[in-house]
Structure 1
Amino acid sequence: MSKAPFGGGLIRLICRLPVWPYLLLTLPMFVVALILRAVTQSNLPYYIWAALWAVPLLIVLAARWLYFVVTLAWAILIEIGRAVRSLFARPR
């Protein structure tokens, strides 16, 4: 039996998310935003960081959701087509 690399629970769930590498890549941007905040005494770096972090992530999540919906609709249409075809098929 294999064990999870971490204890389990929330950490295991977070590590299984497909966005985990993306979050790790945005960590340096957050550090830069913290430094710019300290230097400029402005909240603008936080807003820029949030936009840089959220917009690509939202695009990826929207694309995955759209792919799921299109795939589901296609599978349903195929099943409906098979059912209609078998309904009108001549018995042999």
Structure 2
Amino acid sequence: MAVVAAMTVVAAMAVVAAMMVVAAMAVVAAMMVVSAMTVVAAMTVVAAMTVVAAMTVVAAATVGVIAVAVVAMVAVIKIFLSPCRWALFV
């Protein structure tokens, strides 16, 4: 009976050890998933910020180009439509 008891204890210890290994593996897997999700989220935020920054630069450049074109058009109109060519400088 002592042998049976000893075998039962050993079997129980083996089961507990296996459960601990499985639990540890689950914890590690969960940590890896959370870590991967954090990296993906950070990359998404950085990508969104980059896109917004690029759009802002493009918008600013577009406004600048439009402003220069408007100024140039006004100057040309003043030159060609004015009876006095010096109206541009007035």
What amino acid sits opposite 2:25 in the alignment? A
Structure 1 pair 41–82 and aligned structure 2 pair: CA distance change class (3 A): closer
Quick check: which one's helix share is greater?
2
How many residue pairs end up in the alignment? 57
1:30-45 map, 5 Å: 39-40=13-14, 44-45=18-19
Q: Give 1:54's aligned residue.
A: 28
Q: Give 1:68's aligned residue.
A: 42
Please give the TM-score of this superposition, normalised by the length of structure 1: 0.50
RMSD, aligned α-carbons: 2.8
User: Is 1:86 equivalent to 2:49 in the alignment?
Assistant: no
Relative contact order (C-alpha < 8 Å, sep 6+): which is higher?
1
Most deviating of 78-87 and 37-46: 37-46
Please give the TM-score of this superposition, normalised by the length of structure 2: 0.51
For structure 2, the residue ranges without an aligned partner over 5 or more in a row are 1-9, 71-90
* 4+ residue segments displaced more than 6 Å: none
Q: Looking at CA atoms only, which structure, 1 or 2, has the larger radius of gyration?
A: 2
For structure 1, the residue ranges without an aligned partner over 5 or more in a row are 1-35
